Structure 1
Amino acid sequence: LSISGNRIRRLGARAFFSVQSTLRILWLSNNMISVVHPDSFQGLISLQHLDLSNNCITSLENGFLNELHDLSSLFLNGNNILKLRNKDLLCLHSDLKLLSLKNVTLQEKALNAILKHMSSLTGLTVSRQNNVTIFDQYFERHDCLLKNVSYTRSGLTAVPNFIKKCSVLVSLDLTNNKILIIFKQDFMQLSNLTMLKLQANDLMEIESGSFNNLKQLETLDISGNTQVVYDNNLLSEQKKLKRVYGNNFRICCLARKTSPSLLQCSPEDPISSCDRLIAKDYIRALIWIQAFIAIIGNAMVAVLRAREYPKQESRGGKVNTSFVGVLSVADLLMGIYLLMIAVVDSVHQVEFFAFSHIWRHSGFCRFCGFLSLFSAEASVFTLLVITFTRMVSIVSPIYYLRANLRIFRIAMLLAWTVALIISVIPVFRLPNFFSQTSLCLPAFYTSKRDSDWIFSLFVIIFNLVAFFAMVTSYLVIIIATQRSQTRSENRRSSNPRPKHNLGRRVFLIVATDFCCWIPVCILGFVSIGSGGLNFYNDVYPWTAVILLPINSSMNPLIYTFLT
């Protein structure tokens, strides 16, 4: 029977008399219960599970649980039980199996009294209790019969000593603490443990051999510990693992290597496998193809523009030629990034997972990430300068013709400086920004749990503003052209055909950039707002291999066929 969340303030006598003989489970959580009549549960002789969590109960002194002789599980989470005296324990039967006291304020004597009174207790859940010494002192004098322990959100900095001695322990939950190191002796005596949860601690190290005696382990969760490094022999003795959760796919490779019974493991890497940096052949082929097109195509464009520049006599011709050459250099950098990733994949073709952590946190991976981000940002800001220049040449042709060439060079230099600053910041200030995947790409699909989400949001918004500025500029160009097309054509250039071609080229480049970046920006917003993408593994390969770098390989083709 569940009557949770109904704002019940008090329970009268024999409140459940009509179902007293058959009721086994009763949920009364999330009400406002502060008064419980001593006979409220009279007659519930079959009740086994009672949940009174998140109410306003301050004591158990009226003995309202006296007749619940079959009660095995009692949940008092989120109540304000300030005092629990020995006489209050008369209502908590000594054969109670599970007692949950999450977010309950208890005095030290109360905890000690619970342990002494309930000798059959096999499951205990506590949180926000820093008095771990009470448990340590008690179990120094008594055998630990606990089979299920949940000690969460308590600020623990190490595994408590009493847990190390609970040899019959089957389930252990130490989530949301501040444990820095798991030592080899911490779980040495826990040979019966089947479930271990260590997620969301501040783990920096798991000593080699720490899990060697956990041969019955079936579920392991060490996710939410971004700094921990998985030793190659971390799971060498775990033959019965069925569910494993970590922070990167390397732990899945370690688990599959020793446990054929593994049913579920996360996170899976969207790009890499245990053997290769790039798991799928078609993705590998796309990277090689785009790398060669981007490098060869943009190099040709840059060389041709460099040769054309001295031949240009008009101011507009020099500006346009130099800007197109600068854009090709930005796109060329993306081709170099793709080539470096493809080469690393070719070099490491066996058991890549053993090398993956070193690779992701290497200076070379960080440089690859910097190169990809710098190329993308430089390309966007170069297009922004080109678009503004075209708008000025049409809207204010007199100013455009009189302006010093140095102004355009300074504008382009400023654009590249901004791109450089944005790309350098994560290299020195956000060490994990490029290490979340094996491709070393920027962490645009992040969540608020990650420390770099603010920077990711800033980059996404900055690029959106740049693209909307370009769109606005083209709208201004279109309106100005429609109002005075004849005058605009006369003022554009003495040779209007190339200028017209340039306009078509730049518009198409901006359009393709816009179509590629907008999905990335939208997915970035969704990821940050919702705490991550549920379809991340399906989306990431396409955005990483196609959407982000495709402009660098398409732009040379646009120049070639529209010239």
Structure 2
Amino acid sequence: MGVYLFFIGAFDVKYCGEYNRHAHVWMESLSCQLIGSLALLSTEVSVMMLTYMTLEKYVCIVFPFHHYRAGRKRTLCSLTSIWALGFVLALAPFCDRNTFGNFYGRNGVCFPLHSDQAEKPGARCYSTGIFLGLNLFAFILIVFSYSSMFYSIQKTAKSARQTTFDLEVSVAKRFFFIVFTDAMCWIPIFLLKILSLLQVQITGTLILWVVIFILPINSALNPILYTITTSAFQERLRVCVRFRCMDNH
């Protein structure tokens, strides 16, 4: 996502003041297609990975006495499958130009969010299936999983005091903030996609704000929430600072 934003900014500087003269060439260019597919890859892998991690926590907390625990091999297989599916979703529009048309070049930011009457039916169905199918299903699944987890936590809080269970609870609370930030990012995306399908007039400026400022927020916040807020990271940071201070003395 950072690479996508960097190239969007670079081409914005390149065409500054004369974009209208180069708009058609830019949206038809290979550069626009590639960075658009990179942005879609980033968003879809992020959604699927968050869903996978949520389901892992759901099994651990709602069924604490279940013996299922994802090992290294199972985790690697799951993550490999997520990345493979992400590449398939991002690169599929390149396979059939007649069906998808200029899938990534519908707007200046090269992201296939807005649907219009000139868009090919295959491309419209594909983008709708991604944003209002896969992503909305993942969002609902995550909300349901966390609702079940916190209900289970509240139900067993008085009787269960195991250290392992308390650790799982703290991880679930941390993941809640991840889901909350993702919800704040994705709800505008869902609404914008629905409005575009209903052929409601949407200004191009609004699409730019959503894609450039709202969509990358979870890509920026998730690494922070996954690492800095964990007790393991904070403990290692304290150890590193302690050793650095000892070396300086």
Q: Tell me which interval the TM-score lies in, with the shorter structure as reference length.
A: 0.7 to 0.9
Task: Show the counterpart of 1:539.
Answer: 206
Residue from 521, 534, 557 that aligns with 2:190: 521
2:128 maps to 457
Cα offset for 1:368? 0.3
Question: What is residue 235 of structure 2 aligned with on the other side?
Answer: none
Distance of 1:561 and 1:476 partners within structure 2: 26
The Cα of 1:501 is off from its aligned counterpart by 4.5
Match of residue 7 from structure 2 = 340
1:356 match: secondary structure: helix
Question: What amino acid is the match of 1:526?
Answer: L
Q: 1:434 is matched with which residue: 85, 97, 104?
A: 104
Q: Which runs of 4+ in 1 moved over 6 A?
A: none
TM-score for both structures, normalised by structure 2: 0.80
Distance 2:15 2:152 in 1: 56
C-alpha distance in structure 1 between counterparts of 2:91 and 2:149, whole Å: 34
Q: Aligned partners of 2:226, 2:176: CA distance in 1, in Å?
A: 12
Q: Deviations over 1:415-458 (max 9, x none)?
A: 2222222111123332411111121112x220355212111211
2:155 aligned residue: 483
Q: State the alpha-carbon separation in 2 of the partners of residues 556 and 486 from structure 1.
A: 33
Q: Which amino acid aligns with 1:477?
A: M
For 1:527, the aligned partner's letter is S
> Whose radius of gyration is greater, 1 or 2?
1
Ranked by relative contact order (alpha carbons within 8 Å, sequence separation 6 or more), the top structure is 2
The match for 1:424 among 87, 91, 107 is 91
1:562 lines up with 2:229 in the alignment: yes
Is the Cα–Cα contact under 8 Å of residues 382 and 415 in structure 1 kept in the other structure? yes
Structure having the larger proportion of residues in helix: 2
AA aligned to 1:457 is T
- 2:73 and 2:36 map into 1 onto residues whose CA distance is 32
Query: What residue number does 2:216 align with?
Result: 549
CA RMSD of aligned residues (A): 2.3
Gaps of at least 5 residues in structure 2 are 231-249
1:464–1:518: 8 Å Cα contact kept in structure 2?
A: no
**Amino-acid identity (%):** 29
Instruction: Give secondary structure in 1 for the equivalent of 2:151.
Output: helix
Indicate whether 1:469 and 2:150 are aligned.
no
Contact 1:382 1:412 in 2 (8 A): yes
* Cα shift at 1:541: 2.4
**TM-score when scaled to structure 1?**
0.37
Structure showing the higher strand proportion among its residues:
1
Q: Is the 8 A contact 1:447 1:527 kept in 2?
A: yes
Q: Which amino acid aligns with 2:197?
A: I
Deviations 1:153-183 (A, max 9, x none): xxxxxxxxxxxxxxxxxxxxxxxxxxxxxxx
1:229-256 CA distance string (max 9 Å, x none): xxxxxxxxxxxxxxxxxxxxxxxxxxxx
- Number of residue pairs the alignment of both structures matches: 224
Q: How does 1:249-398 map to 2 (within 5 A)?
A: 334-349=1-16, 351-398=18-65
- Any idea what SS the aligned residue of 1:441 has? coil
| Post-superposition offset of 1:389 | 0.4
Q: What is the alpha-carbon distance in structure 2 between the residues aligned to residue 478 and residue 536 of structure 1? A: 40
Q: Which runs of 5+ in 1 are unaligned?
A: 1-333
Q: 3-state SS of the aligned residue for 2:103?
A: coil
- 1:481 deviation in Å? 1.1
Mapped pair 1:408 → 2:75: yes
Give how far 1:483 is off. 1.6
Q: CA deviation at 1:347?
A: 3.1
